[in-house]
Amino acid sequence: MHELCRVARRVFVTTPNRWFPIEVHTLYPVVHWLPRGLQPARLDEIELLGPRTFRGLFPYPVRIVGRGATLTAIGPER
């Protein structure tokens, strides 16, 4: 993310929303909210982000827009 932000004047990045009740890669409902040991093996490699964690990936302030299943970071905010 830092390299993207270094070379781009403005960014528009999307990611699945951790707080949406259906996991968008597998279409499983609510299983991504279970403790890791109770989740299906297919979710082992998937790390979903909430707005705060997603915002923390950027080296400068960005605006996070939640649109249901996805989060979008738009920035830099000036």
**7-20 confidence digits (pLDDT tens):** 998 999 999 999 99
Q: What is the pLDDT of residues 42-67, one digit of tens each?
A: 888 889 999 999 999 999 999 999 98
Residue-range definition of the domain harbouring residue 55: 2-75
Who's near 78: CB < 8 A, 6+ residues apart? Answer: none
Q: Residue type for 18, please?
A: R
Most confident range (mean pLDDT) of 2-6, 22-26, 53-57 is 53-57
- Report residue 70's pLDDT band, with 50, 70 and 90 as the boundaries: very high
Look up the pTM and report it: 0.86
- Tell me the C-alpha distance between 37 and 71, whole Å: 26
| pLDDT of res. 67 | 86
Q: How many domains does the chain have?
A: 1
pLDDT at residue 77 is higher than 80: no
